[in-house]
Amino acid sequence: MSAGPYERHVFVCLNERDPDHPRGCCAASGSRDIHARLKELSKERGLRHSVRVNKAGCLDTCERGPSIVVYPENVWYGGVTLGDVEEIVESHLVNGLPVERLRV
């Protein structure tokens, strides 16, 4: 089996629910902006051909969202804010060191 074209995939939950839904949703806590910033910074850091940032549906960690998972490491992040994105890109996507304080 050959390796795929990317070293890493980053999935960002963009799921939207009604405002009164008991589980809430990542879209309501800013995941669209987080996704856009992840794409922007990944491109700026020259990761365009090695890291793929994808939109995802519900990752089932809604209560701890906004939720992100990075493969192949299987690292899950929760409660991510826009201000955390640069650290995720620099530490994890560029240098291979997951951001421990954001792991769930």
Q: Which is nearer to ligand FES, 24 or 98 (CB)?
A: 24
Determine the interface stretch with ligand FES among 2-10, 34-42, 43-51, 60-68 (rule: CB under 6 A). 60-68
13, two tokens: 């939950």
53 binds ligand FES (CB under 6 A): no
102 binds ligand FES (CB under 6 A): no
CB of 43 to ligand FES, least distance (A): 24
104 binds ligand FES (CB under 6 A): no
28 binds ligand FES (CB under 6 A): no
Q: Which of 76, 69, 29 is nearest to 53 (CA)?
A: 69
68, two tokens: 């992100």
Binding ligand FES by CB under 6 A: which of 10, 11, 26, 69?
A: 26
Tell me if 15 sits within 8 A of 30, measured CB to CB.
no
Binding ligand FES by CB under 6 A: which of 8, 39, 61, 80?
A: 61
Residues facing 81 on adjacent strands? none
Residues facing 68 on adjacent strands? 12, 77
CA 66, CA 74: separation in Å to the nearest integer? 16
